[in-house]
Amino acid sequence: MAFLTGQTWYVDSTKWSAVTAWAAATVYTAGQLVRQLATPAVNSERVFVCVVGGTSGGSEPSWVTTHGAKTTDNTVTWQDVTGKAAVNGKAALTSDWTAAKSTAVSLGVVIKNVAGTHYFICTTAGNAGTGSEPAWNTAAGATTADNAATWTSLGAVGTFSAWGAPAARLGVYMATGFFHAVGDVIRFNSAHAETQASALAYAATSSGNGTKKTAFLCVDDADALATGGSVTTTGASAVSLGMYYYVYGLTVNAGTGANAAAIALGASSGNVFERCTFNRVATTAANVTVGGGTSGDNEFRDCAFTFGNAGDQLSLNVGRGRFSGGSIAATGTVPTTLLVNGGSGTYRFRGVDLSGVTGTLAALGTTPTDVYLESCRLGSGVTKQPSGSNSPINLRLYLHNCDSSATNTSEYENAAAGIVQTETSVVRTGGASNGTTPMSWLVTSGANTSYYQPLVTSELVQWQDTTGNSKTATVELTTDTALTNADCWLEIEYAGNSGHPLASVVTTRAAPLATPAALTTSSAMWGGTAKTYKYKLSAAFTPQMKGPVKARVSVARASTTLYVDPLIVIT
């Protein structure tokens, strides 16, 4: 048997509590809704509809909480309908009989007739008919045979009010025996505020494998997109969201008091979080982790992260992550060190407000990790990466156009072999500029830099329109150290084939075991503190197609400082 796919479900903790509680020795008619009277276990909260009218028993029945299951209560029969669109007053979001036609229908599936006038619930599972729509018995409680399936009328479509039978918790949809189908939409109210005193874990076992995501959308009473619906744990209870979901507008609050309640997002799964807020409320240090497990592919759009202890960190684990917009540590307690890594991965931050962090932005460890930040706001005086923390394999930290003030020229790269960053005092006359401010790249190689592990700058790119003629690309630099072509070289990538886009590459590097040659001196003028040597790196190439010419400068001499003009001159 199967559920219908593409269904919409509703969640609101407050409105679930407003559903009429079951009562003893009470006459019920088909179509009436009740919730449990005694407080159920977390994620066992349900709403039931009367499918066989009668008088309830003298004590509350043992409810069967499996999705769509029936419960006998003296002469009344109840059936689970928790969160279904129909009983939440959403006729437009309820499938009609044609969606059930020729399918194996499960208990609890609710449809409307093709005319859209009445609701029907499957009370006997089986294969629905393959021909024409059955002749419906529309009186509430009346049954209609449909091949092997049986439908019971719940009455006219207008019987049920908006938000009249929501689930009490998002976790209901991850509960054993009560899960949604991949591709469904769960709408939770902006006033939704569930709390639990135990760990909250949403796993991916029932939510697909990433080929098609289930959506959790925060909406207001009128079903307009909103934010503010929340899930909260208390004490030391952690939060783990390992799913294949798209989540909009959710607020997550982890822990209370002097406890270490961590937040884990997207381990061994893939998610998109948009306009969500993640608050580590507990005040004993713990991490917010992204990715991990065997993999992770997670995206955060306009999300906010806050922390409860200066020792908290945002840990980037195995997988990929993309952060666009939003803020991290803009309010609340600010971590002393924000970004750490707990596994190999690639993470990108674009347009994120990081200005609250004034200590250390990143302290990436020994696991290979690439972290890219583009057009982000930084805190004044922040240390981007502690000196001496890089090693031959462990990291690449890139910052493009990230600063705390009104500049748009900042470049910073902390790689395994050293650091490249923007310089505005030692600059070449007539060299690179943003139109207002001349600039160069200050390149500082590390103690582990070598011919076999060079420090490589980011690409310099220039469009080339000429084809078939030899060209020479030149990049200028200055330093206090005498250099050879085994210490520093230029690599040019260009379109060297007329019949396909396979790149051609030329380099000025000395071949392994060859005798190095001194770099070519230059007469270029540089401003700022004078350096002993001025060099130019030049490479000839013949483009065969129009396209970008890309240049990279490599520095292989350890513990060396030089200034590179980030402008390719092509002649």
List beta partners, residue 412. 399, 421
At 431-476, the pLDDT tens digits run 999 888 999 999 999 988 999 999 999 999 999 999 999 999 999 9
Q: What is the DSSP letter of 225?
A: B
First to last CA, the chain: 72
The verdict on pTM exceeding 0.85 is yes
| Cα–Cα distance for residue pair 470/317, rounded to 1 Å | 47
Regarding beta strands 287-290 and 263-265, do their DSSP bridges make them parallel or antiparallel, or are they unpaired? parallel
Residue tagged 């990790």 (tokens): 369
Mean of pLDDT over the chain: 93
| Cα–Cα distance for residue pair 16/21, rounded to 1 Å | 10
Chain centre distance of CA 104: 36
Q: What is the mean pLDDT of residues 333-360?
A: 95
Q: What is the mean pLDDT of residues 365-386?
A: 92
List beta partners, residue 373. 349, 399
Q: What are phi and psi of 223, to 5 degrees?
A: 70, 20
Please enumerate in sequence order all residues whose Cβ is within 8 A of that of 530, keeping only pairs 6 or more positions apart, or say none: none
| Cα–Cα distance for residue pair 533/488, rounded to 1 Å | 13
What the block records as the tokens of 397 is 């930290």
What the block records as the tokens of 379 is 């805190």
**What integer pLDDT is reported at residue 202 of this predicted model?**
86
Lowest mean pLDDT among 39-48, 203-212, 248-257: 203-212
**What integer pLDDT is reported at residue 210 of this predicted model?**
58
Q: Has residue 390 got a pLDDT over 60?
A: no
Q: Has residue 366 got a pLDDT over 80?
A: no
At 114-160, the pLDDT tens digits run 999 999 999 999 999 999 999 999 999 999 999 999 999 999 999 99
Are the CB atoms for 477 and 535 separated by under 8 Å?
A: yes
**What integer pLDDT is reported at residue 1 of this predicted model?**
38
What the block records as the tokens of 413 is 């790269």
CB atoms within 10 A of CB 396: 16
Task: Choose between 174 and 98: higher pLDDT.
Answer: 98
Q: Has residue 389 got a pLDDT over 60?
A: no
| Cα–Cα distance for residue pair 302/323, rounded to 1 Å | 8
At 467-507, the pLDDT tens digits run 999 999 999 999 999 999 999 999 999 999 999 999 999 99
**What integer pLDDT is reported at residue 205 of this predicted model?**
47
Find the helix or strand (DSSP H, E) in which 100 lies: helix 97-100
| pLDDT above 90: percentage of residues in the chain | 84
**What integer pLDDT is reported at residue 391 of this predicted model?**
53
Per-residue confidence band for 180, with pLDDT thresholds at 50, 70 and 90: low
Q: What is the mean pLDDT of residues 321-333?
A: 97
Smallest Cα–Cα separation from 104: which of 128, 122, 121, 124?
128
For residue 88, the SS3 value is helix
Per-residue confidence band for 44, with pLDDT thresholds at 50, 70 and 90: very high
Q: What are phi and psi of 307, to 5 degrees?
A: -135, 160
| pLDDT above 70: percentage of residues in the chain | 95
| Cα–Cα distance for residue pair 309/287, rounded to 1 Å | 10
Whole-Å CA distances, 571 to 475, 536, 541: 12, 14, 11
**Backbone region of residue 100 per phi and psi (left: phi > 0; alpha: psi in -120 to 50; beta: other values):** alpha
**What integer pLDDT is reported at residue 7 of this predicted model?**
87
**What integer pLDDT is reported at residue 175 of this predicted model?**
63
| Cα–Cα distance for residue pair 258/339, rounded to 1 Å | 23
| Cα–Cα distance for residue pair 281/74, rounded to 1 Å | 47
**What integer pLDDT is reported at residue 517 of this predicted model?**
98
Q: What are phi and psi of 97, to 5 degrees?
A: -60, -30
CA-based diameter of the chain, in Å? 101
b/e per residue 271-283 (b: at least 16 CB within 10 A): bbbbbbbbbbbbb
Q: Has residue 206 got a pLDDT over 60?
A: no
Task: Choose between 89 and 209: higher pLDDT.
Answer: 89
Per-residue confidence band for 386, with pLDDT thresholds at 50, 70 and 90: confident
At 159-176, the pLDDT tens digits run 999 999 999 999 988 765
Are the CB atoms for 229 and 192 separated by under 8 Å?
A: yes
| Cα–Cα distance for residue pair 254/79, rounded to 1 Å | 34
Lowest mean pLDDT among 81-90, 290-299, 306-315: 290-299
Per-residue confidence band for 564, with pLDDT thresholds at 50, 70 and 90: very high
What the block records as the tokens of 100 is 């059930």
Per-residue confidence band for 178, with pLDDT thresholds at 50, 70 and 90: low
**What integer pLDDT is reported at residue 396 of this predicted model?**
87
At 62-78, the pLDDT tens digits run 999 999 999 999 999 99
Task: Choose between 41 and 6: higher pLDDT.
Answer: 41
Write out the DSSP string of 226-264.
Answer: ----EEEE-TT--EEE-SSEEEES-EEEE--SS----EE
Task: For the chain, give percent helix, strand, coil, nearest 5.
Answer: 5, 45, 55
Task: Give the type of residue at 422.
Answer: T
Per-residue confidence band for 368, with pLDDT thresholds at 50, 70 and 90: confident
Task: Give the type of residue at 251.
Answer: T
Per-residue confidence band for 2, with pLDDT thresholds at 50, 70 and 90: very low
**What integer pLDDT is reported at residue 408 of this predicted model?**
82
| Cα–Cα distance for residue pair 538/234, rounded to 1 Å | 64
Q: Has residue 207 got a pLDDT over 60?
A: no
